[in-house]
Amino acid sequence: MRNALKLIGRLANTDPLLGKPCGYQHSTGNLFDCRKLYFDVDENRDPRWRLIYRVLPSEEHPEVIELVTVGLKYVQDAAGNRQTIYVRAGELLDRI
C-alpha cells in the first residue's frame, strides 16, 4: 500500500490531474468527474490495483482530492459476485 500512499501524496501536493479520466460506461454509470490511477504492490507486474478519485470543486480549480475507492480492479460484492472497482465507485457515488 506504500505505492498508493505515494500516489495520494502526489495528487494532493503537486499533480491532481495525474490520473486518467474514467468517463462513462453503461455498467458503472457516469464517472465523468472521476479519475483513475493504476498501481501494484509488485512494481514488476501489470498493475492490478486502482485508485478512483475526484478533483473538487472542479479540475479547472482544484482544491480537494476526494478518494472515492481504492482496491483491486476486480472485487467481490456483498453477495460474493465479482465486479469491477469501477462499478463499486458508481455505487458509492449513487450513479448506478
16-65 pLDDT tens trace: 999 999 988 887 889 999 999 999 888 888 999 999 999 999 999 999 99
**What backbone torsions phi and psi does residue 48 show, to the nearest 5 degrees?**
-100, -15
Reply yes or no on whether the pLDDT at 93 is more than 80: yes
The tally of domains found in the chain comes to 1
Full-model pTM: 0.86
Label residue 20 exposed, middle or buried (CB < 10 Å: 0-12, 13-18, 19+): exposed
Q: Which of 6-10, 69-73, 90-94 has the lowest mean pLDDT?
A: 6-10
Q: What range defines the domain where residue 65 resides?
A: 2-92
